[in-house]
Homo-oligomer: A and B are copies of this chain.
Amino acid sequence: MRTLSECQEIINQAFLEMNLPEEPANLFDPLRYVLRLGGKRIRPSLVLMACNVFSETIEDAIYPALAMEVFHNFTLVHDDIMDNALLRRGRPTVHTKWNRNTGILSGDAMVIKSFELLTHVSQGFMPELLALFCRTALKVCEGQQYDMDFETRKEISLDEYLKMIELKTSALIAASLKTGAVIGGAGKNDAEHLYEFGRNVGIAFQIQDDYLDLYADPLIFGKNIGNDIVANKKTILFALATQTAQGKVKRELMHWLESKEFNRIEKINAVKAIYDKLGIREQIIRYIKHYHETGVSHLKRIAVSESQKDELLKVSDFLLVRNE
């Protein structure tokens, strides 16, 4: 079975060999730039690994794998414009390095390119995989829209949060796994179990991302702690806290959320203390564990030998114990 790092290598190599037109340079240079910024190549690697669970050869899964990564990178380019983000993976974002219009248009070219890459699957799989990809791509847009809608909201419920991250993050991870499974020749049930594995692990992964923003070891995490609190970002911590807090604690929480002028460290410490009172950290660890275990239970139910699932199991463990 191919390991994650073997699959990452295959993907990086395939991107190096991918032909993109030279002209117009202002359209295709940003594509080359973004696709060579790196990243962990999780989604395309999952396509290959899922295929590999059911098939020794994984060559047919390479183009669809690239499709997932190009689509994912398209969302990053456009999200960075919407969020006015200056940096991505430590380098200038496309709209910063070029300009906003170039970011919009080269993002458009990327989403089209992702569909083009997907059309390299064999004709028999095409209707199913295209329908899945379209449905998933639209979900990602819906998730981004909910995320933007949340910015102007005072409170969000846990259910709203979970729906948003399922759309924005975990749908594409799940679809990557299912796409690989279908190409590898998985039966309907097995493909669905891999989808559910990805959907649940994807949710756990995103919850962990929120968790780490506050509770990670800053030396390992490599960035400041508490940015989400400073920005009132609608994370699962935020959702659980606004939903759980009552009386005086709730008023104190809302005071901090509504403050326009505050000391950064003071706000982080105050909100963190409220989270502690409410037992948010423990709740979140339970949620991560729950979704992780649910995901793995789907992996276990796939009708192949355990050794064939080992590498995927390792990926989910790798994704979910990064910093503890």
CB within 8 Å of B: which residues of A? 21, 24, 26-27, 78, 81-82, 101, 104-105, 107-109, 111-113, 115-116, 119, 123, 126-127, 130-131, 134-135, 137-138, 141-142, 144-146, 148-149
Known: A123-B127, A126-B127, A127-B126. A145 touches B105 (CB 8 A): yes
Instruction: State the CA gap A256–B26 with chains docked (Å).
Output: 28
Number of copies: 2
The chain B residue sitting closest to A108, CB to CB, is B141
A253 to chain B, nearest CB (A): 26
The contact of A27 among B104, B115, B145, by CB within 8 Å, is: B145
Known: A116-B134, A134-B116, A145-B26. A108 touches B105 (CB 8 A): no
The chain B residue sitting closest to A84, CB to CB, is B101
The contact of A26 among B115, B119, B149, by CB within 8 Å, is: B149
Task: Please list the 3 inter-chain residue pairs (A to B) with the smallest Cβ-Cβ separation, ordered nearest first.
Answer: A116-B134, A27-B145, A24-B145
- Are B27 and A109 in contact, with the CB atoms below 8 A? no
The chain B residue sitting closest to A136, CB to CB, is B112
Instruction: State the CA gap A81–B99 with chains docked (Å).
Output: 13
Q: List 24 A-B contacts (CB under 8 A).
A: A24-B145, A26-B145, A26-B148, A27-B145, A78-B104, A78-B105, A82-B101, A82-B104, A82-B105, A105-B141, A105-B148, A107-B108, A108-B108, A108-B111, A109-B142, A111-B112, A112-B137, A113-B134, A113-B138, A115-B130, A116-B135, A116-B138, A119-B130, A123-B126
Residue numbers in B under 8 Å from A109 (CB-CB): 138, 141-142
A277 to chain B, nearest CB (A): 33
- Are B111 and A142 in contact, with the CB atoms below 8 A? no
Instruction: State the CA gap A109–B109 with chains docked (Å).
Output: 14
The chain B residue sitting closest to A116, CB to CB, is B134
- Are B24 and A149 in contact, with the CB atoms below 8 A? yes
Residue numbers in B under 8 Å from A116 (CB-CB): 131, 134-135, 138
Residue numbers in B under 8 Å from A111 (CB-CB): 108, 111-112
A100 to chain B, nearest CB (A): 8
A84 to chain B, nearest CB (A): 10
Residue numbers in B under 8 Å from A123 (CB-CB): 123, 126-127
Instruction: State the CA gap A145–B146 with chains docked (Å).
Output: 30
Instruction: State the CA gap A293–B78 with chains docked (Å).
Output: 42
Residue numbers in B under 8 Å from A104 (CB-CB): 78, 81-82, 104
Residue numbers in B under 8 Å from A130 (CB-CB): 115, 119, 126, 130
Instruction: State the CA gap A137–B24 with chains docked (Å).
Output: 15
Residue numbers in B under 8 Å from A101 (CB-CB): 81-82, 148
The chain B residue sitting closest to A71, CB to CB, is B112
Residue numbers in B under 8 Å from A144 (CB-CB): 105
Residue numbers in B under 8 Å from A135 (CB-CB): 116
The chain B residue sitting closest to A81, CB to CB, is B104
Residue numbers in B under 8 Å from A27 (CB-CB): 141-142, 145
- Are B141 and A119 in contact, with the CB atoms below 8 A? no
